[in-house]
Structure 1
């Protein structure tokens, strides 16, 4: 299809200017672009001349979306995450009428990468149905060596800044009376939580360093629990747990039942944990209930490397941080649906057995999997920093304009060249 005949309709994106930056890049190819704004936060990060305000009840969205596709000749839709209601409805309709769906997500190999797929992400990704032998065959045909991640951290501070800015715009903006957030909290509550987290960063930094020091100097074997955000789409839509407490109970009971008495359990909070769920209090309560208080620790966010370097194993629902676990060759238990949940390297053991005798992953199989992701859906860069956005833009526009899905491009010899970020 000639590029000038394509019309890309953007829906909701990551907090901040990434979708505007991407829209400008796509428009530079000669394609038409537009964006639907569901609230004042969406509108703030897009040029007014191609903005399409949607200020109607939620139940009117499917009919409105169908009309937009038809009237504007939309060929492609672009969105961030595919599970929020307006996106799930749009994806279903787009598939029905043959419109291409471009899905962005946080990197499966975070923090140095962003995920770009077509059709769906996380539990809806094509990766869910791919085997390691299939990936190995595609890589063999390409003859490429594995790209390396840049030796730098992600853009967490910028992420928090743009999150606060977005929710401020939504809260104080006008013209979108029917907007309802896809999460349970109000926009005002979300904004106050962002401000609170920003204000408490120095305190949490001290708490985190003290807790990590106690663990590192403790001299005991420990197992690491990688916590997620209860309101995150992966946890809500692709796990068997309705609340974080449900997950904490299963893990604590499994550890108390199966782990050797001299082993400890370390719960590591997500870096963006904002206190809407009393995770630390629940961990302490469950430890008391099972009589293991002196063997349970809680760490607020921060980097994984120091803890993973000495951990015996790790447990998660479906956190992308588990990729770092597997890269180190540590045993991993994943209790939800995840793109990396392959029998080659994720244990099928019940938790009590896992804590007693954790099985190590097949390192060779995981390296095939990781290499396959880096040659297909993982793009170096980030949504929230200027440098990260520019790095993404250099590759992703060509990938979106390609006739090939990222997973089909590799065996077809059409995969985009991969250049990791420089550390300068």
Structure 2
């Protein structure tokens, strides 16, 4: 069922939503460009693959430690201002990297320090950004806004790495200067928002350890939310084939670094196109079955990719993986937002962010360990089979999620 034309126009004509999406697009584009530049520069300086892992670890540790308090901040202070400060802090990180690049790096340690600061900004940005979106649109338009928001992120993640690689030909300093400029524009766009600041209401002050853990307690008490978040967590945890793409590009498909770039792009393209489709044809019925169907599609596509020896089939499988993942992400994000009262939305978004971060980071680790034990192809195939098993187990453990027909609050 498609969204009525008038409602679609209302969403696209929402000034604050357009500004928010533009700011998020530019910030995500900048971060993706920076990721390519940092990885290349660090490896160029040290020639040690371990340092590439430490770049990720430098960001992940402060994120995990601070994301729950960051959710509390999102429920206490103006979310627009919190997000703007985070983007400004990310801009400062880019300027520091620019300074280091201009002076010349002979060690990766300064980069690790900057990445830790970047992890702090990321920890506070994620819950505030997720909690801000529902404040910008009417409840009946939230599904379309979520799909557009997801598509915006996907397009930026597709374009950012390629753009970063091209700009890097002019030097690391050029990339970091471009990143700083994009983030500065994002701060200006957020400052122009007219609404969507503080939470709508609060039962009590959002302070103290009890309040800090309220997001975890809420997720545990709402089985729809717990089922949706945990389903996505374990599906991605076991189906993390993207971590092994370099092995496939070099040893299985024999397509080299250029082919690796296409392999990394394919899931994002599938997710972005699926997100656009969901923006115009939102899911309104059989919500639970659509979510499990997305996970099953993701698992099946993972198995096909794992068994593929053709570059074209591998690309198609990764494309389908991205599309299936987007269906699951779309429904999970919408369920979390609709089921969560606004006064604790930031803290619940923080819990959601922890689950997402854990699935991505631990999924890469799990794929690497399994590949070391059994080889890359068995690791990917086993991961796809495990994803299918997770879908079956969760359908039995969370029957209310499997049987869910409409989103909470949707009109019959």
Band the TM-score falls in, shorter-chain normalisation: under 0.3
TM-score, structure 2 length as denominator? 0.24
Question: Which protein has greater RCO, CA pairs closer than 8 Å, 6+ apart?
Answer: 2
Indicate the structure with greater helix content: 2
Larger Rg: 1
Indicate the structure with greater strand content: 1
